[in-house]
Amino acid sequence: MNEYKPVAGSVSPNRKRRKIIGTSVYFVFLISTLVGIVSLGVLIFDVLDKGIPWLNWQFLTDYPSRKPEEAGLYSALIGTIWLMFMTALLTVPIGVGAAIYLEEYAPRNFFTKVIEINVSNLAGVPSIVYGLLGMSLFVYYLGSSEQFLGRTLLAGALTLALLVLPIVIMASREAIRAVPDSYRQGAYAMGADKWQVIKGVVLPSALPGILTGTILAMSRAIGEAAPVIAISALVYMTFIPAHPMERFTVLPIQIYNWVARPQEEFRGLAAAGIIVLLAILLTMNAIAVVLRNKYQTRSEE
């Protein structure tokens, strides 16, 4: 009963029909590709349309207020900047160190494999779970009701540092892997030992790549709201944090706070806040792209 089915049976021999199908399928693919792009365009247009009327200098320098016309996001803006730099300070040394270990030192054994699988799994853990970790470990100490770090900037930065660590590790590994082996061998030939090779040759050549990865990781961090809400809760900040042990709020939380209110005015404020947040992200991404391009042209020389 094993009847031979010619392949041509599944491909219609009718050339004209196949051509029509081909063209229509092409348009379906094209339209699908446009779905993402058009959505992005509509989103940005909508945000600009609703937000620009609220965007002025006073919006950037005022504290939040119950009256929409007096409200601003100064405390959230400063909180975001604080949090971004503290997170970078915590996560970059550890991330780069881990990347150096995995690329330059790690033997091909079970422990290394566990770390590698673990890093890629951590990158897929929902951010709110990091929030739970930070809340229970950094804000309180597990189940005890006594505050450990409390709802402070430091607790927030530690949590975000763990959240973006896998991204920094993966980006740094890629940058280190891209350093040509001939560089290392040249340095070894001159009598340098491993650490001298890494310090003097590998790290300087990998630096632009590491920097690019770090900036992208930080742009992920400052857009995160969920884990920060678990740390800071909704706080009505009418002062700016002066040191890492103070309470704080960040832009995404301030935006969420405004979106969650039913009045139309607060929606406008939310849109204006989104413009500020997107402007910061765009600037960071532009810096990363410029760095990447500069680095690429240099290594081609």
Partner 1 sequence: MAQILDSRRKFWIRVEGSIVKWLFMACASVSILTTIGILVTLLYQGYGFFNEVSPWEFLTGTRWTPILKPRSYGVLPLVSGTLLVTVIAAMVALPVGLMTAIFLSEYAADNVRRIIKPILEILAGIPTVVYGYFALTFVTPLLQNIFNDLLVFNALSAGIVMGVMIIPMVSSLSEDAMISVPRNLREAAYALGATRYEVSLRVVVPAALSGIIAAFIIAISRAIGETMLVTIAAGATPRMALNPLEGVQTMTAYIVQLSLGEAPVGSLEYNTIFAVGLVLFCMTLLMNLLGFWIVRRFREAY
Q: Is-contact 48 41, C-beta < 8 A? A: no
Q: 206 vs 277, which CB is nearer to partner 1?
A: 277
Q: 166 vs 208, which CB is nearer to partner 1?
A: 166
If one counts every other C-beta atom within 10 angstroms of the C-beta of residue 234, the result is: 12
Q: 21 vs 245, which CB is nearer to partner 1?
A: 21
Q: What is the smallest separation between the CB atom of 140 and partner 1, expressed in angstroms?
A: 5
Measure CA 90 to chain center.
15
User: Among residues 144, 77, 126, which one has the least CA distance to residue 230?
Assistant: 126
Q: 163 vs 211, which CB is nearer to partner 1?
A: 163
Q: What is the smallest separation between the CB atom of 81 and partner 1, expressed in angstroms?
A: 16
User: Among residues 277, 232, 253, which one has the least CA distance to residue 44?
Assistant: 277
Q: What is the smallest separation between the CB atom of 58 and partner 1, expressed in angstroms?
A: 22
Q: 1 vs 223, which CB is nearer to partner 1?
A: 223
Largest CA distance in the chain: 82
Strand partners, 147: 140
Q: What is the smallest separation between the CB atom of 263 and partner 1, expressed in angstroms?
A: 12
Q: What is the smallest separation between the CB atom of 1 and partner 1, expressed in angstroms?
A: 25
Q: Is-contact 89 132, C-beta < 8 A? A: no
Q: What is the smallest separation between the CB atom of 62 and partner 1, expressed in angstroms?
A: 21
Q: What is the smallest separation between the CB atom of 57 and partner 1, expressed in angstroms?
A: 23
| Whole-angstrom distance, CA of residue 62 vs CA of residue 78 | 11
Q: 88 vs 271, which CB is nearer to partner 1?
A: 271
If one counts every other C-beta atom within 10 angstroms of the C-beta of residue 213, the result is: 28
Spell out the alpha helix ranges (H) of the chain.
Answer: 15-51, 57-61, 74-100, 110-122, 127-134, 153-177, 181-189, 194-197, 203-223, 226-232, 251-259, 264-300
Q: Is-contact 71 64, C-beta < 8 A? A: yes
- Give me 224's structure tokens: 């995160």
Residues 278, 279, 283, 286: is their CA dihedral positive or negative?
Answer: positive
Q: 1 vs 7, which CB is nearer to partner 1?
A: 7
